[in-house]
Chains A and B, each alone.
Chain A
Amino acid sequence: MSTHSRQALVMIRTNLSSLPRRFAISASMILSVALVVCVLAGFLSMARGFETALTAAGSPSVAVILGGGTNQEMGSDVPAAVIRTLDAMTGDLGALRDAGGKLILSREIVVPVDVKQVADGTARTLGLHGMDAAGPSIREGISLSARRVFAPGAREIAVGDRLASEFGLRVGDMVRLGAVDWTVVGHFSARGSASESEIWADLDAVRAAFDRQGQIQSLKLRLVDPTTLERLQDKIATITGTPLVALSEADLYAAQSGRTASLIRLFGWPLALLMAVGATAGALNTMMSSVADRTVEIATVRALGFSRLSAFLGTWVEAMVLAGAGALLGLFASWLIFNGWQASTIGANNARMAFQLAVTPDVLLTSGLLGVAIGLLGGALPAIAATRLPLTAALRARG
C-alpha cells in the first residue's frame, strides 16, 4: 500500500470515528438524503408500475386493427365493410384461421361505465369491453380464476381479479352498468396486468345496452407469430375507403403507458431534484461543520506532513458515507412503503386502471445514485476547504 493510500485511510478512519461527536447534524444529513431518495423512488416506482401493468397486458402475438386514422381504441371506428373484406381475403394474412379456414378475430368496443365502490360508495369509471366469443381466447396470459366468461347475447360480465377485489364484485352479483343490470359470471386473472382492471361482456349485449348498434372500435386477431404482423399490415393497406392501422397489442399498450409514465416522471424528477438541491445545501452545511469540528486534527496531520489529498479524501469520503447511508435508508423505506402499493389512474378510454407500484432494481439504482450524488457534490466544497485550513491552527489550538 502506498504512503498516499495509508494517509487517506487514516484520515477517512479518523473522520468516520469522530462522527458520534457530530451525531445530530450527521443524522439530519442522512435523513434529508433519505427523504429525497424516497420521493424519487416513489415517483419512479409509480411510473415503472404503470408501465409494467400496461406492457404486461399487451402481447406481441395479438394484432389490433384500428380505423379512422387513430392509434387508440377511443375514437377508432372500423366499418363493417372492412371486416367483410378481411373475411373474404384468402391466402396468408399472417393471422390464425380456424379449422374451417375462417379468420379468428374478435370485434370489440369499449364503453366507459360508472361502478360504485363497496368501501365508500363512490362511483368510478371503468372500461366495459364488449367482444366476440373469440375475444378472451385471442388474448394471451388470461386464465379464469372463477367460473366462466360471458355467454353470447347474455347480459353477463367477467371481471378482472384486481377489479373484483377492489369493488367487491363476487360471482353471482348483479351490477348496474348504464341503464341495465348485469350478472357477474366469472373472474379472470391477467398476471396482475392492466387487463385485470377490465370488465368483459358480449359485444352485442354491450352494443344493445348502450345504443351502439353496428359500432366496432377495434378488431383483435391472433398472429401466427409476432413477425407476421408486417404481412397483416401489408394486406390491410390494400383495403381502401377508410384509413386502417394494424399494430401489436404490446405496441398499443406501450404507447399508452409511455405517455402517462413520462408524465409521472415529469412531475417526479423536478420535485426530487429541487429537494436534492436542498439536501445538497444541507450536506454542505453538515460537512462544513465537520471540517470546523476537525480543524485541529486536520491541521495537525498536515503539519506532520500529510498531503492535501488525504485531507480532501477524508472529508469527501465522509460525505459520501453519510449520503450512502441516507440513500440506503431511503431505498429501504421506499421499498417498504411503495413496493406493491395499489394505485390507480385514468388509463385508456377514460377508464380507471389499477396498478401496483414497482420498486424495481433500476428504480433503486437511479434513486440511490441521486442520493450518492448529493454526497459527492455537497462534500466537495468542504473537502476543498479542509485542504486549505491554515496549519498554524494546529500549533496553537487546543485539540
Chain B
Amino acid sequence: MTETATPYIALSGIRKGYRIGGEPISIFSGLDLAIPHGDFVAVMGPSGSGKSTLLNMLAGIDRPDGGTLRIGTSRLDQMGEAARSAWRAHNMGIVFQFYNLLPMLTAAENVELPLLLKPLTRKERRIRVDRVLDLVGLAGREKQYPAMMSGGQQQRIGIARAIVSDPGLLLCDEPTGDLDRKSADEVLEMLRFLNRHLEKTIVMVTHDPQAALYARRTLHLDKGDFVEEKRAA
C-alpha cells in the first residue's frame, strides 16, 4: 500500500513482534505504508490487528524489529530512545483517547508543556498558547483545570497541546473514543480543519466508522497487513 509521490511517512518491510508468555507473536512481517504530506489517514481494524503497534512506532515510542521507518527526513528505525524522544518533541503532536491532561495543571499550563522543550521565552510561550486556545475555541479558559471541563473541552485542550509547537504530524489514538457523538463531531471537525487549513498530516486510529469519514482515506488493518483502502468522496 504505497503512494507514488515522495511520501512524508514511509514504512517499508516493517517487521515487529513480541513475546507473550515466552511465545513469539508476530504483529507485522513486511508492512509497507506511504502517507504523503498533508494527508489525513484513518486506520481501522479489529482488536489485535496491530493498530496500536503501528501508532507506537510512528510516535517513536516503539521501534520496529526490521525494515525502514522514515518520517520526513528522519529514520526513526535507526534512532536511539533519547533521539526519538527529542524528535517527538519537535516534529509531532499526540492526541490521546483519554486526553491525558495533567490534572494539577491549568488548561494553559497543559497546553504549554511541549513548548517547555523549546528555547522560547515565557512571553513567546504565552503568545503561542493563547493562539492555539483561541483556535480550538477555548480562549478565556486558560486558568481552568481539566476537572472543571467537559470531555469534549478536555479533548480540545489535548488537541491544542498537540499542535502548539506547530508539528507537521498529528497522531490521534481513538480521539473520540471517550466522547458523545456531538463532542466527537466537534473534535473531528477540528482535526479536519487542522488538516485542510493548516496542512497537518494526521494519522488517526479509530474504531468508529463515523470518525473515519472525516479522513481523506481509511486504511483497514487486519492480522498485520492493510487489507482495504477507502478514499473519501
Interface residues in chain A, defined as those with a beta carbon under 8 Å from any beta carbon in chain B: 3, 6-7, 10, 13-14, 17-18, 296-297, 300-308, 391-392, 394-399
Contacts and interface: CB of A to CB of B under 8 A. Distances in A.
A92 to B, nearest CB: 77
B116 A7 contact: yes
Contacts of B85: 302, 305-308
B96 interface: yes
Interface residues of B, number: 32
A303 B113 contact: no
Contact of A14 (B90, B102, B117, B119): B102
Given A392-B61, A392-B62, A306 B102 contact: no
Contacts of A308: 82, 85
A49 B61 CA distance: 60
B116 A391 contact: no
Contact of A305 (B55, B88, B101): B88
22 contacts: A3-B119, A6-B117, A10-B113, A10-B116, A14-B102, A14-B104, A14-B105, A18-B104, A300-B96, A300-B100, A300-B102, A303-B61, A304-B94, A304-B161, A306-B113, A308-B82, A394-B96, A395-B52, A395-B173, A397-B100, A398-B98, A399-B103
A304 B93 CA distance: 7
A296 B98 CA distance: 10
Nearest to A300: B100
A392 B116 CA distance: 22
Contacts of A17: 104
B132 to A, nearest CB: 14
A302 B61 CA distance: 9
B99 interface: yes
A360 to B, nearest CB: 40
Interface string B89-123: 11000101111111111000000011011110000
Contacts of B61: 303, 391-392, 395
A6 B117 CA distance: 8
Given A3-B117, A395-B56, 10 more contacts: A3-B118, A7-B117, A302-B85, A305-B85, A306-B89, A394-B100, A395-B55, A396-B97, A398-B98, A398-B178
